[in-house]
Amino acid sequence: MTATLALVRALFRTYTRNRQGLFWSLFFPVVLMLVFGLLGNSKAISINLAVAGGSPAFQHEISTALAHSTIFKVKEMTPTAARAAVRAGSEDAELLLPAILTPGQPAAITLYYNNANQVAAGQTVGAVQQAVGAINLALSGRPPALTVSPQPVSGSRSFSYLDFLLPGLLALTIMQGCLFGLATGLTRWKEQGVLRRFLATPLRPVQFLGATVINYILTNMVSVVIILIIGVDFLHATVQLPILPLLLAVVLGLAAFISIGFLIAGQAKSQEAVVPLVNLISFPMMFLSGVFFSPASLPPFLATVVSFFPLTYLANALRGLMSGQLVGLAPALWGDLAGLAAWTALGALIAGRTWRWE
Amino acid sequence: MASQIRLEHLTKRYGAVTAVDDLSLTIPALGVFGLLGPNGAGKTTTLEIVEGLRTPDQGQVWFGDLDVVRHPHRAKALFGVQLQTSSFFELLTVSETLELFSSFYPKHIATADLVRRFDLTEKATAQVKTLSGGQRQRLALAAAMVNDPEVVFLDEPSAGLDPQARRHLWDMIAGLKAEGRTVILTTHYMEEAETLCDQLAIIDHGTILAVGRPQDLIRERLPGSLIELAPSVALPDGIRFAAMTALDRGEEAVVIHSSDLSKTLVDLVAWAGGASVDLAGIRTRGSSLEDLFLSLTGRSLRE
């Protein structure tokens, strides 16, 4: 135990003294957050609209008409559920239809919209009014005509691109920390003979392994916290932070990437060989696994392949938790956590068989 | 109480290459024991098997009654090891490195004592990456001593050092011996072997060619004296001088081995006078380890 802790301390010291490494591990996430945080909402226009109230037939008629527009993603919901969804930010607006239609009278429709983001709210109200006007034209001559009165829902939240990006960047930082930091570090120590020198002492391999894992969990946690502080406190990203489920996802993500890091370091013979190998593995994940955009926009076959990447599992879990779409230990979260656990086991299994100390 | 180390029928193969070939050797307790051989002779592999760092394909290693091959972990706690290419975390300081290694052993020497003893005081708080070659080597030696070991293994301790740093290191190794430890080192420097080693094993192709005290080995295996002549001296084929035991025609010198120097010299000078051969540059000397090595392996150590 003394030996393991002493080694953790030594590894942590070498980590904090490697200024260049520290800088680069935080540089990209922070710059990306700054760019998107300061640019504001750069989300392409697409409005999630809940249609609520009215008779089922009327509700359906209106939603079908609105769904013709490519701007809207329409859902039929109950008024209560719709309002909650607007407040939580998962729907941009709720179109509340009147319960009773009086023939000859214009039907008054209320639009409850998410006002957390002024630009998006303006776009939403404008788009809905325009669409309803078009429906009116289609219904012309056939009373009742529809009028829309917009109502902001205060205290509601919106998703800016930064909100989308932040969980992805955390996942990316964890991956890069383990693949670049751990895999290249281990390869360097292996090549220089540092690891063999440890083997010549009574230090057991499992103690070395344990110390390395503890150190990489600690150091990556520090990076995660720094990025969260910059993103939330300075750039005002709107994210949920359910500590325990997040911690669980982060630790499992670290476990998966640490075992992959050992796997790569076990294969690589030199520092020259390890960097291209790490790039080969991390680049596709960095761009496809949903760090910067949702994998849902990929071609279906590719999206299926990407859904099995470890970074996809981690980014999904973190984004689900931080956007509030996954509450507590939701079943959808279990799927991602199981995926990370499977990668941990697979990586550890292969690493255990192919690892070389020299 | 110090124990001797016995290597019994060790064999280690790497693919088609047999690095250590049925090697048996007893290393006495106390004093400095040297494994002398050219690069690739199997010295390092042999040493690493004894250290418990490698498992032999066949054979056993005993440290007293401890079976090193079966219980490498116990053996490692008693041994101090300096590897040929051992390096340390570049970003730790000298003191931190020694403290880290101390934490691996049940018994250890205070870091401050080690720092002082191996002349690292002024570098104690400096990071390893700032150390010179000689300082690194002393750190490696200090790290080998953290557990106050009974046996210290040094693999090519003076490789790559300048002559002054080498002398400094030799003094420290002599100090280890004076403290009553067993020091086992590999080297391919004749001078190091002659200066430091109480006993030597000459090793090549994974087998032991000769074992003993350096002076005894030379006296027994290569008695007599050597006469060196410039390579330009043309000795006819089949020429014999009185008391001549062998004749080597090397590129750098022609060497006449003699069992009785004065008889051979008189005969040689008489021949040279008659044949009008210039003997300028002639010199005589006793046999050296280098000559012994050459006669045992047919090749020079420096190759």
- Residues A329-340: tens digit of each pLDDT: 777 788 999 999
Highest mean pLDDT among A48-57, A100-109, B292-301: A48-57
**Distance, in angstroms, between A6 CA and closest chain B CA?**
6
The whole-number pLDDT of residue A25 equals 79
Please report which confidence band the pLDDT of residue A139 belongs to, taking 50, 70 and 90 as the band edges.
Answer: low
Q: Domain ranges for chain B, please list them.
A: 5-216, 224-286
Chain A residues whose C-beta is within 8 A of a chain B C-beta are: 2-3, 5-7, 10, 13-14, 17-18, 189, 192-194, 196-204
What is residue A340's predicted lDDT score, i.e. its pLDDT?
A: 96
Task: Please answer yes or no on whether B103 and A2 come within 8 Å at the CB atom.
Answer: yes
A192/B87 touch (CB, cutoff 8 Å), yes or no = yes
Size of interface A-B (CB pairs under 8 A): 68
Residue A175 token pair? 């991956």
A12 bridge partner residues? none
Mutate which: A13, A201, A270, vs B, most B CBs within 10 A: A201
> What pLDDT does residue A313 have?
95
Q: Do A3 and B92 touch (CB under 8 A)?
A: no
Which residues in chain A touch residue B81, judged by CB atoms under 8 angstroms apart?
197, 200-201
Query: Which residue in B82, B100, B151, B155 has the most chain A C-beta atoms within 10 A of its own C-beta, making it the best mutation to test that interface?
Result: B100
* Structure confidence at residue A42 (pLDDT): 45
**Closest by alpha carbon to B92, among A189, A11, A271, A182?**
A11
* B42 Cα to chain A: minimum distance (Å): 18
**For residue A128, what pLDDT is reported?**
77
Cβ separation of A14 and B104 shorter than 8 Å? no
Answer whether B103 sits within 8 Å of A193, measured CB to CB: no
* DSSP code string of A129-167: HHHHHHHHHHTTTSSPPEEEEEEEETT-----HHHHHHH
Q: What is the pLDDT of residues A220-244, one digit of tens each?
A: 999 999 999 998 888 888 888 888 9
The shortest CB-CB distance from B92 to any of A10, A196, A198 is to: A10
Minimal-distance CA residue of chain B relative to A19: B91
- On the question of pLDDT at A45 being above 70, the answer is no
DSSP per residue, A169-233:
HHHHHHHHIIIIIIIHHHHHHHHHTHHHHHHTSS--HHHHHHHHHHHHHHHHHHHHHHHHIIIII
Of A46-55, A167-176, B257-266, give the lowest mean pLDDT range: A46-55
Whole-Å CA distances, A182 to A242, A271, B281:
28, 12, 62
CB atoms within 10 A of CB A316: 26
pLDDT profile of chain B (303 residues), mean per 10: 86 92 92 89 92 94 94 94 88 96 93 93 94 91 94 90 88 91 90 89 92 89 87 85 86 86 92 88 87 78 56
pLDDT score, position B155 = 92
pLDDT at A144 over 80: no
Q: Residue A140: which pLDDT band, with cuts at 50, 70 and 90?
A: low
Q: How far apart are the CA of A271 and the nearest CA of chain B, in angstroms? A: 16
**Chain B: residue nearest A18 by CA?**
B91
**Residue B140 and residue B127: Cα distance in Å, rounded?**
14
The answer to whether the Cβ–Cβ distance between A3 and B103 falls below 8 Å is: yes
pLDDT(A44) > 50: no
Contact A196 B99 (CB under 8 A): no
Q: For chain A, which domains are there?
A: 2-40+160-354 (no CATH), 47-153 (3.40.1710.10)
Task: Give the per-residue pLDDT at A168.
Answer: 93
A 10 A CB-CB count for A290 gives: 27
Sheet with strand B199-204: strands edge to edge: B79-82, B151-155, B182-187, B31-36, B199-204, B207-212
Q: Which residues of B touch A7 (CB under 8 A)?
A: 100, 103
Beta carbons within 10 angstroms of residue A35's beta carbon: 12
Residue-level pLDDT at A43 = 47
The pLDDT score that the predictor gives to residue A137 is 60
Interchain contact, B53 vs A14, CB within 8 Å: no
Give me the CATH topology for the region B5-216. Answer: Rossmann fold (3.40.50)
Centre a 10 Å sphere on the Cβ of residue B275 and count the other Cβ atoms it contains. Answer: 12
Region A266-281: mean pLDDT is 89
Q: What residue in A sits closest to B73 (Cα-Cα)?
A: A202
State the smallest CA–CA distance between residue B129 and chain A in angstroms.
12
Distance in Å, alpha carbon of B212 to nearest chain A alpha carbon = 28
